[in-house]
Amino acid sequence: MSQTHFGFQTVDEHEKARRVREVFDSVAPRYDLMNDLMSAGLHRWWKAYTVMVANPQPGQCVLDIAGGTGDLGLAMAPKVQPGGTVVHTDINEAMLRVGRDRLLDHGLVLPTVVCDAERLPFADGQFDLVTVAFGLRNMTHKELALGEMYRSLKVGGKLLVLEFSKVAPLLQKAYDWYSFHVLPRLGRWVANDEASYRYLAESIRMHPDQETVRNMMRAAGFAHVDVHNLTGGVVALHVGLKV
Ligand SMILES: C[S@@+](CC[C@H](N)C(=O)[O-])C[C@H]1O[C@@H](n2cnc3c(N)ncnc32)[C@H](O)[C@@H]1O
């Protein structure tokens, strides 16, 4: 069995998927509140920016991978009407359930599929747009997942990967202090779960930087990849075009 990272720990590959599932089972009920608290609401802006760049059009088919509690689905579903659809997917049922309930509260019923991004149950060339927000970091075989995203896109389609990334050197010290001192405490006080938020900080540090993700997307087949650094590189949006 090959080994991989779970935060700063080295674990067997199958162990990583199990532990990631435990993290999201645990955080699902408080996920949205914690997102707002941890990012001081910035995650809403990062997602709005992603939707603006994705620019979904009426009639388009969109696949939201690792869609969790449904923020991107909620923003994109009205834009593909009439005639389009957003498929809301995640490997974790607890996260999808929270998302489905939220979408229902907004009067939206989206096709919802529990699936692993590394083995997508969709036909080749089915989607105009594929989005994945804060999900790639948690995947064990990122190259495999990016290959699946490429496969499921139509020629001319776009992949948008929003993910934590490498911050500008000037921000590094403050960002480290915040990540390793404030975040785990917030997790303990608000969600009674320090370990999951420690994993969050560690998994961000272990995730490849902007240039590496760009190269991984190129290797998956994307001919052109743009990188948008947001908030000093705290987050990066990678946009890949299938030609
Ligand atoms: C930090 S949440 C992001 C949720 C949502 N996209 C957002 O931005 O708020 C990460 C999500 O990735 C999902 N995930 C982790 N590994 C996955 C995989 N292999 N395939 C699909 N989803 C995965 C988790 O279950 C979790 O819901």
Please give the pLDDT value at position 92: 97
Place of tokens 């495999």: 144
Q: Are strands 61-65 and 85-90 parallel, antiparallel or unpaired?
A: parallel
Distance 47 CA to ligand 1 centre (A): 14
With b for 16 or more beta-carbon neighbours within 10 A and e for fewer, the 9-20 pattern comes to eebeeebbbebb
What secondary structure letter does DSSP report for 5?
Answer: E
Closest-CA residue to 228 (of 203, 210, 215, 241): 210
Model confidence, pTM: 0.97
Q: Which of 149, 164, 145 is CA-nearest to residue 17?
A: 145
Distance 49 CA to ligand 1 centre (A): 19
The pLDDT value given to residue 14: 87
Q: Which residues line ligand 1 (CB under 6 A)?
A: 20, 24, 65-69, 71, 90-92, 95, 116-118, 133-135, 138-139
d(CA 131, CA 159) in angstroms, rounded, equals 6
Does residue 65 contact residue 116 with C-beta atoms inside 8 Å?
no
Instruction: For residues 164 and 236, give the distance between their C-alpha atoms in angstroms, rounded to a whole number.
Output: 6
Q: What is the pLDDT of residue 109?
A: 96
Cα(105) to ligand 1 centroid in Å equals 21
pLDDT for the residue 204: 95
Instruction: Kindly report the protein residue whose alpha carbon is nearest to atom 13 of ligand 1.
Output: 66
| Helix and strand numbers, DSSP H then E, in the chain | 10, 9
Mean pLDDT by 10 residues, the chain (243 residues): 90 91 93 94 98 98 98 98 98 97 97 98 98 97 98 98 97 96 93 92 96 98 97 98 98
